[in-house]
Each structure stands twice: as C-alpha cells, then as structure tokens.
Amino acid sequence: MRSVVRNRKGFLKSFAGVALAGPVLGRLEAIEDVFSASLHTLAQTPWESLGPQALQDRYMLDPSVVYLNHASIGTIPRQVHNARVEYLALCESNPWLYMWGTPWQPIREEVRAGAARVLGVPPSDLAITHNTTEGFNILANGLPIGPGDEVLFSTLNHDGASVCWELGAERRGFTARRFEFPLLDVPSLSVADVVELHRRQIRPETRVLVFPHVDNTVGLRHPLAELVAMAKAEGVEYVAVDGAQTVGMIPLDLAASGVDAYSASPHKWLQSPKGLGLLYVRADLRSELRPMWVTWGQRRWADTGRIYEDYGTRNLPEVMALGDAVDFQAALGPAEKERRYQQMRSDLKERVLATRGLEWVSPATWDLGASLVAIGVSGRPASQVSQELFAQAGVVLRPFETMGLNALRISPNVNTTPSDFDEFFAGIARALG
C-alpha cells in the first residue's frame, strides 16, 4: 500500500525553513505520527483476527444504534475523525497560511492521487467536489447539448443525477427522458438483460446516457463496461455514471471502462468526512465541458480536472482528511473488503429466504449486486416497520414504497457485525408477528 500519510512528512519538511514555524511543523508531524502508527497496526493485522466487533470499535456509532444505512450516509472511522479535528485546529492556528499558503498544496495533490487510485484514473482527470449531485450539475450545465438532443436515464436513476437534467432541459431546450425500469424483475435479470433494456430506449437523438453504477433502491450493479460499449456503438456521445454507491465498495478501473464522466460521494463507502465529492472527467471531454463556476485558477489548471473545482475558499481540513480515509480503507484491503461485503450479502440473503413475510427483491448474484439490498415485507407498509425497528431496537435503515415495491433497504459496511443482523431479524419477527 502506498500511503498518503507516509508521503506527507517529506513535503512538510521541505517547507520547514520557508513557511512553517518549528512548533507548527512539530504539531502537524505529531498528528501524522499517531495516524501512521494506527494505520500500520491496522495494515499488519489480519482481517480475520480483527473480527467484526474489533472493526466496529474503530468507529463512533452510538452503541444503542444498529446502523444499516451506509447507502444513505456513511460513518467515519474514529482515527479519520481525529485527524480531521487536528487539521481544523491547525488551520485555525494560522488560517491565512493553511488556506492560502503552501503547506497543504502538495498534500492536497497527494490526496487527489490517492482518490484517483481508488477510481482507477489519472489524478489530472479528477476534481474534488462536494458531492455526487454537484458533479452532475456540472455536466448538465456544461455539456454542449441543446434543442434536438436527448438525455436518457431510467427510473432507477437517483434524483441527484436526474433533476439537474430535467431543469436544464427547460432552460436549454434539450429533452430529458426518464424510462420505466422493471424494478420487480431485478432478481431475474442478467447482464445481457440490463444492457438490452437500455439499448431499446436509445433513439437517434440520444446524446447522453446516464445511469447509476449501483442504484440506491435495490442495489442493481449496472454492467459498466458493457453499457458504455453498447451506448457508444448505438451513437450515444456521452455516458455519465453515478458512482455514489460504488466508490470504496467495489474495485474500479474507470480509465479502462470507457465512461466519459463519473461522479461520486466518498462519505458512503470510502467513509470520508461529509461534504466531499469526486468527479472524473476523461481528458478529451474537458475541452467540451464548460465549468459551472470559475475564478482565478482556470488558466493555471487548464487541461486538468481541477478546473471543475475552481470556486475559491473551501473546507481544506475536510479535504486533508479525505486522504486519511483513503489510507484507512487501503489498510483494510480492497479485496478483503469486497470479500466481506459479498459474504455478508450471501448470509443476509439466506436468512431472508428462510424468514416468513420477507422476500429477496435485489439481484440474485454478486456480479449484478452490491452491499446494498432490498428486502420485501408483506402485510404492513415498510415505512411503519422501519419506524418500529428504530423505536424498539435502534435499527437504522431505509424503507421504500415505490414502483410497486414495499421493502426495507439494508446497506451494511465493514463495521457491521453479525449481532447487527440478529437485531434486525429479531425486530422483524416482532413487527411481522
């Protein structure tokens, strides 16, 4: 693992005689020493010997809460939170220096490089935004489309990647078309089926195809490379993907996928501080995609993804802590994380199928699935069941009563324990009788 943290001291020392006073440099190095030691311990500890509870102890969740809603908003590891607090304190010790001076500039680019490795893209193609929705607003406002052009997406598309196109269509004259996805057929769909469902909807005027890599309702993993290849073969010019539910969960190689743009929120599965986003824009698209806002850096950062984050003052301590979140997840190991997600999903499916009143309504297999599943409930509205689960057992999840679905969405993360699932099923037994 190449650690952002382990690279920072070299940068910091290079500024010791220029910008940083000795006590300030010492304080920041002390923060890095503690965090690096913690990461080293985590990286050297076998996943199995940590155990689920040992992982959960590295977070700050209230012990009375059974948190199964990472697909809505994630929880930050304790040591990432502590690093963020220290960065904020350091920033406030000399705001001018840390907001506008040199100390954090190279570190920020190391953070970008670390996030780029997670996505499988060159750092120069990546903008650090505020969330997934911001990335899609940049696309909807900046792509060269207009009257006679169509933007296509399904009813599985999240509003954060949809509404910007619908409102943009009213102003700019293009068409935004949302087609009905057969949600109740998801458990029986294959990769070829998902591709064909989209192919049938493409028209000669379709210039933009938008879809979620993993949707937030039933956890359907759209086959990225296959959909991109099909869309391009059908004449679609731009393919934009919502990666809010994949970054940090599923290993990515976006540069090889052919996707034109990919927007994500690392606070879910990468477990970064809130208020951060990532936007990948392939190099040859940047000459066509106009930034949504601009200030002094447009010429300086021309030909890089940084032109899409050129909006002046921002919360740099949060950005610094994104690097720590990347390091924390890398220490866990992407392959081991995916193995754990897959195992939890398999165990959960087995228990759902064996429980009266529950139905598995997510994809049947892992290649089309994710650590985000929908469980149909019978006899009672899902929203009522959800309220009872929280009131009686502190279980946090998301109900869906939409498109014919009456379901509870569960989205476990690496810090979810078997006892969390036990609490859920015990609560279900009480709620459904």
**pLDDT tens per residue across span 12-35:** 443 444 344 444 455 455 555 544
Where does the chain hold its CATH 3.90.1150.10 domain(s)? 334-432
* Amino acid identity, position 325: A
Query: Residue by residue, what is the 3-state secondary structure of the chain?
Result: CCCHHHHHHHHHHHCCCCCCCHHHHHHHHHHHHHHHHHHHHHHHCCHHHHHHHHHHCCECCCCCCEECECCCCCCCEHHHHHHHHHHHHHHHHCHHHHHHCCCCHHHHHHHHHHHHHHHCCCHHHEEEECCHHHHHHHHHHHCCCCCCCEEEEECCCCHHHCHHHHHHHHHHCCEEEEECCCHHHHHHCCHHHHHHHHHCCCCCCEEEEEEECECCCCCCECCHHHHHHHHHHCCCCEEEEECCCCCCCCCCCHHHHCCCEEEECCCCCCCCCCCCEEEEECHHHCCCCCCCCCCCCCCCCCCCHHHHHCCCCCCHHHHHHHHHHHHHHHHHCHHHHHHHHHHHHHHHHHHHHCCCCEEECCCCCHHHCCCCEEEEECCCCHHHHHHHHHHHHCEECEEEEECCEEEEEEECCCCCCHHHHHHHHHHHHHHHC
Reported as a single tens digit per residue, the pLDDT across 254-284 is 999 999 999 999 999 999 999 999 999 999 9
Q: What is the pLDDT of residue 105?
A: 87
This prediction's pTM:
0.91
- Of all residues in the chain, the percent with pLDDT exceeding 70 is 88
Q: Which residue has the higher pLDDT, 41 or 108?
A: 108
Q: Give the pair of three-digit tokens for residue 254.
A: 């976006």
Look at residue 36 in the predicted model and tell me its pLDDT: 52
Residue-level pLDDT at 54:
77
Q: Could you give the CA distance from residue 167 to residue 160 in angstroms, rounded to a whole number?
A: 12
pLDDT: is 41 or 130 the higher one? 130
Alpha-carbon distance of 279 to 73, in angstroms, equals: 18
| Torsion sign, CA atoms 126, 74, 347, 369 | negative
Higher pLDDT, 279 or 36: 279
Q: Place 98 in a pLDDT band, splitting at 50, 70 and 90.
A: confident
Q: Which pLDDT score is estimated for 29?
A: 59
One of 3.30.365.10, 3.40.50.300, 3.40.630.180, 3.40.640.10 is the CATH number of 119-327, namely 3.40.640.10
Instruction: Give the pLDDT confidence of 299-351 residue by residue, as tens digits.
Output: 999 999 999 998 888 899 999 999 999 988 988 888 888 999 999 999 999 99
Q: Is it the case that residue 395 has pLDDT exceeding 80? A: yes
Q: What does the chain come to in residues?
A: 433
CATH topology of domain 334-432: Aspartate Aminotransferase, domain 1 (3.90.1150)
- Output the average pLDDT for the chain: 89
